[in-house]
Amino acid sequence: MAIGDRVLMGPGPANVYPEVVAALGRPMLGHLDPEFLAVLEETVDRLRAVFRTDNRLTFPLSGTGSAGMEAAFVNTLRPGDVAVVGVNGLFGQRMAEIAGRLGAEVVTVEAPWGEPLDPSAVESAHPEPAVIAVVHAETSTGVRNDVEAVAHAKGGALMIADVVTSLGGVEVELDDWGVDVAYSGTQKCLGVPPGLAPFTMSQRARERRVERPSSWYLDAGLIAGYVEAEGGRTYHHTAPVSMVFALHAGLGVLLEEGLEASWARHQACGELLQAGLESMGLELLAPKDHRLPQLTTVRVPDLPGGLGEADVRRMLLDRYRIEIGAGVGPLAGRVWRIGCMGHTARPANVTLLLAALADVLGR
């Protein structure tokens, strides 16, 4: 079968940095090999830099971003605990579902898909929640929620932030904001294949963590015994070595560019894309002041003769090898999701996408 390449402008995975592809091919090492442990240590240091945190308990979790989400709740929620969860898209819904399965009393604070959460509504939803959880960048809607405002007002609760699509693409300042637990995914603005969930937990959260959570695999206490040198490198599970090499390399690219420079690059690409879409007469879903640069939702316009929205995506793929994403949930069939993340976030890719879309739409 022929091997195709793509310009990946969907909601993720994005294209992967060339340095990351090279790192995937590094010779295999054992998960206790001194050379691998040195790479792991440096990866953790780099994650702290990217998360903007000093949290000791920081590591690449051995699953995708959704495993990171589950780990955040598994390690902080006991049955009967109150979890306040902001829901204005698919990933907020997922947070509520996961917390519910763990036996928590889930209080959701909703906003329409495409609108930001109201921080004061989240803050006042319950007098004494155990955790408050908000998605920073809602990949299903292209909306940025104000994690900082919620975190500043968290009170005695532990603050959980989903930074899957935001990390590396827009400003994330976990310690300054007062976020206790955060997780990300590798396949968005980090420019690494999907498969790992960067994860971090504050000392405050660590002290209050669940001692023997229902999930053994995601037990942060057991994982700490391996990822922290002072834990004696106690075997928990075999680290996904090649993917750690890949993440190590991707974080290296990002930090060499500089976090602020990466945010600016994503911002510039997002503005170019969004201006181009609007000048083509298309309408953006997310309001300007809460619009993500790295993930743009655009309403599906009236299409020429018999064309469906899926046909447009298929034509972009077939003619131009460009992937864009479909809408999900209540936005299915109503929007496209156009990502510009990680290695994909280059003006040339935006220019190509705009020209290709103009061609396909006949505009």
- Contact footprint for a second copy (CB under 8 A): 1, 3-6, 8, 10, 12-16, 21, 24-33, 35, 38, 62-67, 69-70, 94, 97-98, 101-102, 185, 187, 193-195, 212-217, 235-243, 246, 317, 323, 325, 328
Closest CB to a second copy among 65 and 114? 65
The DSSP H or E segment spanning 174 is: helix 174-177
Which position has the token pair 């976030």?
345
- Strands 158-162 and 181-183 come out as parallel
The CB-of-239 to a second copy minimum distance in angstroms stands at 7
Report how far residue 106's alpha carbon sits from residue 129's, in angstroms, rounded to the nearest whole number: 9
The CB-of-40 to a second copy minimum distance in angstroms stands at 13
Residue type, 153: A
Closest CB to a second copy among 99 and 298? 99
Report how far residue 272's alpha carbon sits from residue 26's, in angstroms, rounded to the nearest whole number: 36
The CB-of-12 to a second copy minimum distance in angstroms stands at 6
Residue type, 102: L
Residue 64 CA from chain centroid, whole number = 10
Q: Are 23 and 249 in contact (CB under 8 A)?
A: yes
The CB-of-118 to a second copy minimum distance in angstroms stands at 26
Report how far residue 28's alpha carbon sits from residue 20's, in angstroms, rounded to the nearest whole number: 15
The CB-of-281 to a second copy minimum distance in angstroms stands at 27
Closest CB to a second copy among 82 and 316? 316
Q: Are 358 and 13 in contact (CB under 8 A)?
A: no
Residue type, 353: L
Closest CB to a second copy among 178 and 195? 195
- The CA–CA distances, whole Å, from 138 to 94, 135, 210, 328 equal 11, 6, 27, 12
The CB-of-230 to a second copy minimum distance in angstroms stands at 18
Closest CB to a second copy among 151 and 239? 239
Residues 6 or more apart whose Cβ sits within 8 Å of residue 127: none
Closest CB to a second copy among 141 and 187? 187
Closest CB to a second copy among 152 and 217? 217
Report how far residue 172's alpha carbon sits from residue 214's, in angstroms, rounded to the nearest whole number: 30
